[in-house]
Chain A
Amino acid sequence: MKTNFCVTIVSICLLLATAVLTPPGLSMAADDSTVDFLDDEFYDSELTFDESEDPLESFNRAMFQFNDFTYTWVFNPVATGYSHIVPVDIRGSVGNFFYNLEEPVRFLNSILQGRFSDAGTVLVRFLINTTGGVAGLGDPAGRELGFEAIDATLGETLSVWGVGDGFYLVVPFYGPTTLRDFSGDMVEGLALSPYYYWADGFEEVAAIYLGKELNKLSLHLGEYEDMKQLSFDPYVALRNGYFQYRKRIRDHNIPLYDE
């Protein structure tokens, strides 16, 4: 418990530092424009990336190599073995269970971002899945009742409140992120998510994190290899994919229907 407390304090300090260090103007990849693939202006915008936003590129490339190595030689084999032993529906339930435990944090973030209808959806999902889904193992709210999963992180909350990204960051065992989002995730994970909070000491926190990520990986085997095989510079491909994906899930006004 004591270690956790220390780590929490450290991450909150980190977060405050981020807020101070990154003026709102420095937000990456034109956060404000809407994702519309039918709009040529959006398409041709020399979009994603200005090299100055990856000032730590050489460090990040080294971390990318490190993650690539551990992925190829440790996590991928282990996750593959695990996927052979544990059936896919059980792995799905494990994923659901963790996801459900994080719903209260998502609820809080939705509120802080002023997305009240999404907050309601998250709350309904949590209540239904915790009871009807047997402690979150199933996802009847999404599957049967059409309450889609909502994404809301502290990183996004900070961005809504005007904190900039800082810079792009590749973190060992964690992957692509930015200074702001990583700080947000640390605070979320260590101070707000119940399963880390209840853990005794750093070893348990690490074990839970690895277990959770391994389970997630077992459901996405082969995707990273495909990406790597087909790209000319996997580092750039992953960085671009990270920003594109993030922009899309954080754009809550995406036009989806025929007008």
Chain B
Amino acid sequence: MTSKNVCDRSSAVGPVKGGPVKVHMKYYLAIFAVTLCLTPFVFHGTARAVSPDPTEQLRPFLDRIVAELKSTEFKQDPSCQQCQRIVDIASEHFDFYEMSKRVLGKQWRTLSQQQKDQFVTLFTRLLQYAYIGKVEDYIDKKIEFDRQRIKGNRAEVLTQLVDVNKTIPVSYIMILKGDKWMAYDIIVEGVSLIRNYMEQFRSILRDEKFSGLIDRLESKILELENENNQQETTAGEISPTPDAG
């Protein structure tokens, strides 16, 4: 475990910056012609050559979130208003709608618009705990940007979360929307967060239908909120002096 993932940085750095796109000339011309006619519609297909660099977008974004978590206000008031600010920042590059859609798989299409909205709201709050809760671990670790891969309008940015004695690979799976790369999944040590929830939700949907899933989500969120509040009170009781000073 300890020695894994120590990658050959020298070779990893090389291919990161947008390599030449290998497209046959004829094909390229055809695309060019079509693009001229249909620019607004085929943006995704041809945006590749001029698309922004995913790593360049993700790096400052993650820096901002970590900085926010490190800020003193957040430490003193870890549950609440600050969280909203973090969620706001997170929404800039996390596509919660896309995540919700993917986590329900085929079921998504069977839902009404109202049900979809309801699910997106709740699932976003759950992810807030699943990911933002974990980001606190990021504070004393270093995020290294390893390499990236672009395929059409999708990109995978591989980062390494480096600690004293272990390195955890964390991949961000992103889709290009407009000129923004939006993450719709996070892969931690090869395990996709969305696909993991997908399997859990699948059996809940089968046994308890959509309303059952909503109930389960609501109670889970409540449970997580209570736990957070408890941690806060105990933390306050143990160390009142440093806070005051």
Residue from the list A46, A88, A146 in contact with B7, Cβ < 8 A: A146
Q: A229-B224, A258-B148 known; A244 and B191 CB under 8 Å?
A: yes
Are A95 and B2 touching (Cβ within 8 A)? yes
Interface residue B195 (Cβ < 8 Å from any Cβ of A): yes
Task: Output the least CB separation between A63 and chain B (Å).
Answer: 19
Instruction: Give Cα A154–Cα B187 distance, bound, in whole angstroms.
Output: 26
Measured between beta carbons, the chain A residues less than 8 angstroms from B189 are 245, 248
Binds B, one of A155-163, A184-192, A232-240: A232-240
Are A38 and B151 touching (Cβ within 8 A)? yes
- Chain A: which residue is nearest B137 at the CB level? A222
Binds A, one of B14-22, B39-47, B56-64: B14-22
* Complex interface bits, B26-60 against A, C-beta within 8 A gives 1, otherwise 0: 00000000000000000000000000000000000
Are B16 and A258 touching (Cβ within 8 A)? yes
**Could you tell me which residues of chain B, from 113 to 163, have a CB within 8 Å of some CB in chain A?**
126, 129-130, 133-134, 147-152, 154-156, 158
A interface size (C-beta, 8 A): 46
Chain B interface secondary structure, helix, strand, loop or mixed?
mixed
* Complex interface bits, A211-241 against B, C-beta within 8 A gives 1, otherwise 0: 0000010011000001001111100110011
Task: Output the least CB separation between A26 and chain B (Å).
Answer: 20
B interface size (C-beta, 8 A): 57
Measured between beta carbons, the chain A residues less than 8 angstroms from B6 are 139, 142-143, 146, 148-149
Are A219 and B199 touching (Cβ within 8 A)? no
Interface residue B164 (Cβ < 8 Å from any Cβ of A): yes
Which of A92, A139, A142, A258 has most B Cβ within 10 Å?
A258
Q: A48-B199, A89-B164, A143-B6 known; A248 and B1 CB under 8 Å?
A: no
Are B156 and A142 touching (Cβ within 8 A)? no
Are A149 and B156 touching (Cβ within 8 A)? no
Other than the known A146-B8, A236-B199, what 5 A-B pairs have Cβ atoms closer than 8 Å? A46-B105, A148-B7, A219-B1, A244-B196, A257-B147
A-B contact pairs, 15 of them (CB 8 A): A37-B173, A37-B185, A38-B149, A38-B151, A99-B2, A99-B3, A142-B4, A149-B6, A219-B1, A220-B1, A231-B200, A247-B190, A249-B190, A257-B147, A258-B16
**What 7 A-B pairs come out closest when comparing CB atoms?**
A248-B190, A146-B8, A139-B3, A38-B154, A92-B165, A142-B3, A38-B151
